[in-house]
Structure 1
Amino acid sequence: MKYAVIAIVLAILFIIANVGILLFIRESMSSKNTETALNSDYPVYKQRSHAGTLVNSELQALVDKMWSLDVDRPSPKDVILNWGSHIVSGTSDKSPNCLFYYVNESIFKKPVYQALMSTYQQNLFTPEVCSTEPQMSGPRKELFQGVLRTLVNTPVFHAAFEYLQAEGITQKPFEKFLSELFTFWFGSYSRCRGTKGSSGWEHVFVGEWNHHKVSGHHSWVHYYLLEKEGLINYHGYHHHSGHLEGAVQYSWKGHVKKVGGFLIQSSPSFDFSLYTVCALAHPGKSACRFSIDGYELSVVTFKQPCDGQSCLSTAYTVAHME
């Protein structure tokens, strides 16, 4: 009887120990995934398609509609690219030429480009992620509210807003929604030891420096302008979907982007509207999946708390391969 009791006790202790190990592993993986979502320096820009992964038909219809409504996007003749050499590994420069061979800069006269470029021309952000950004108030806030107003006063964004209403994401009046959307994109938070030096807008449309690495930077317009000034050294490409989008490697004033990607044949209002829809209605790594011109893509988005609500942490495109 004594030995039977001991055996039972040992069996129970063995079960408890194994359950504890499993819980520890699960918790560790969960913490790691959360950290990767918010702070990954090397996001995946190319994913393998999985059987059974379905495209949301309503989302696809929206993307098709926004694409057809995007009268501000460049035509194939407006932007000519030189993809150069294929990057397999390392960070050395394998392409002697720039990525952008030619851009018809007359498209930059359109209001959506003028609004975006005004934020670059005035140097309103500090690239170093560990440097505190100025407070979002006064003339600074008014300028960015004007930028937001320009991007949302487009047929593309109105289609996106109608979709968000139909999906039950918001039932608020347009102006009230814009107020919250401003904080979602421009609310400040920390990516570096408590310093409020980042926002979704800066991360996505401007780009940041985190030590010796480039973080974010998912606007083809800003990339082109920096490359034109000689501030970006193009290394080569990892992949590209025709001239629609691509994942590339480059350095920006000595800060390296090992894998960075952006849409190219789209306007700032399309990018802003698409990223907003994906972040609010289909957040995460693979929930926002669709196709454009026959190319299967996803938008990866993550959020984090800031200024008393949820703010955008990152948004970027991912190409799918068979």
Structure 2
Amino acid sequence: MARSQQANQELTEVLNQLWRLDTNRLKPETDYIISLQGKAGYVAQGSNYARDRARAPLFTYVNEDKLKDFINLLDNYETSTGVSEKVTSEELHENRLFIESMMETDVMKYAHKYLVSKGQSSSEPGQFKRQLYDIWFRLYHRDRSGGQDSCGFEHVFVGETKFGQEVTGFHNWVQFYLQEKHDHVDYKGYKARDNKYTPDEDDHVLNLQFSWNGLVKPIGGCFIGVSPEFEVALFTIIFLMSTQKMTSVVVKVDEYVLELVVYRHGRSIGTSYPKLLSSNHKDL
């Protein structure tokens, strides 16, 4: 899928349809407010020092009432790799409720229909739900020294730390807001590609730099304001339509030119994230 321009065009059409169907997406300046502030600087490899170009938090307001069910999932994980996860029956129930709620949305219904048409998923809803569970919630070994210490959802939506030395994953805006709210995250500023654009505060995609519990992530990419089902649907489609260890596709979604990256970990997602290449119809 990542290798041909025709495939990229098809994926662009699919993702724009997902975008149009994402009625649960939050609206900038209404449901949330961000403050981009300064452009983040260079961080040396292995360093945990980053000059702070943003004295205030990234998020100044988020309407949490629209995110309650999703927020409940974000405290279910041990963020250190190498430490086995202990999944309670309550957490299993929350995971399944999350999948059930996503299946009720037009975004996931469209993704399911598309994947069935491509022979990548069963038309039977129960089997598709199990497939989603395996892709996002099935535990696996990320750190060879540990037990079942990770899953796709934890890595992408919650974030992890590797050997207590670096931040890995952590590509979800809701988790960023919550961790910032509790003073665990320090936003350092936005990252701009080759100085060719400056992001706007109503953009729905952002490259950024931050520290989490004292560990610096030099650059990370995330959507802003989108619904959880949009991200799950988008990256599930890319994951299932490619057998490569790493898939990278460039697409245009609404006003954004994005590189979408997915790493495979067996039958599950290893990581997935967007990189903003340009916005507001500006040239790359």
Q: TM-score, normalised by structure 1?
A: 0.75
* Correspondence 1:285 to 2:247: yes
Q: Could you list the per-position Cα deviations for residues 145-165 of structure 1 after superposition, in whole angstroms to 9, with x for gaps in the alignment?
A: 111111222100101111111
Aligned pair in 2 of structure 1 residues 253, 92: CA closer, same or farther (>3 Å)?
same
Partner of 2:58: 99
Go from structure 1 to structure 2 and tell me whether the alpha carbon gap of 1:219 and 1:185 turns closer, same or farther (over 3 Å shift): same
Match of 2:105 in 1: 154
CA distance in 2, matches of 1:58, 1:126: 38
Paired with 1:300 and 1:54, the residues of 2 have a C-alpha distance of: 18
CA–CA separation in structure 2 for the residues paired with 1:200 and 1:86: 30
**Is 1:315 aligned with 2:261?**
no
Query: Given that residues 40 and 52 in structure 2 are in contact (C-alpha distance below 8 angstroms), is that contact kept between their aligned partners in structure 1?
Result: no
CA, structure 1 residues 60+139, in 2 after alignment: closer, same or farther (shift >3 Å)?
same
SS of 1:300's equivalent in the other structure is strand
Residue type of the partner of 2:78? T
Stretch deviating more after TM superposition (251-260 or 214-223): 251-260
Q: Give, as a single letter, the amino acid of the residue that structure 1 aligns with 2:247.
A: K
The DSSP-based 3-state class of the residue aligned with 1:190 is coil
Instruction: Summarize deviations over 1:6-57 as a string: whole Å, max 9, x none.
Output: xxxxxxxxxxxxxxxxxxxxxxxxxxxxxxxxxxxxxxxxxxxxxx956633
The answer as to 2:8 corresponding to 1:56 is yes
Q: Which residue of 1 aligns with 2:140?
A: 189
Does structure 1 residue 296 correspond to structure 2 residue 257? yes
Deviations 1:276-310 (A, max 9, x none): 111111463323x32122211122101122xxxx1
Q: CA RMSD in A?
A: 2.0
- Give the drift of 1:177: 1.8
* Alpha-carbon contact 1:241-1:295 (below 8 Å) kept: no
- Residues 1:212 and 2:165 are matched in the alignment: yes
Q: Which has the larger radius of gyration?
A: 1
Q: Which residue of 2 aligns with 1:168?
A: 119
Letter in 2 for 1:285: T
Contact 1:241-1:319 within 8 A present in 2 as well: no
Shift in Å, 1:142: 1.9
For 1:295, the aligned partner's letter is: Y
Provide the residue aligned with 1:201 in structure 2.
Answer: 153
TM norm structure 2:
0.84
* Correspondent of 2:94 among 143, 164, 181: 143
2:229 match: 269
Q: What CA deviation, in whole Å up to 9, does each residue of 1:180-238 have, x standing for no partner?
A: 22011111112222412110010011111112211101110110111112111111111
Q: Which has the higher helix share?
A: 1
Structure 2 stretches lacking a partner, 5+ long: 44-49, 193-197, 279-283
Count of residue correspondences? 258
Distance 1:119 1:230 in 2: 19
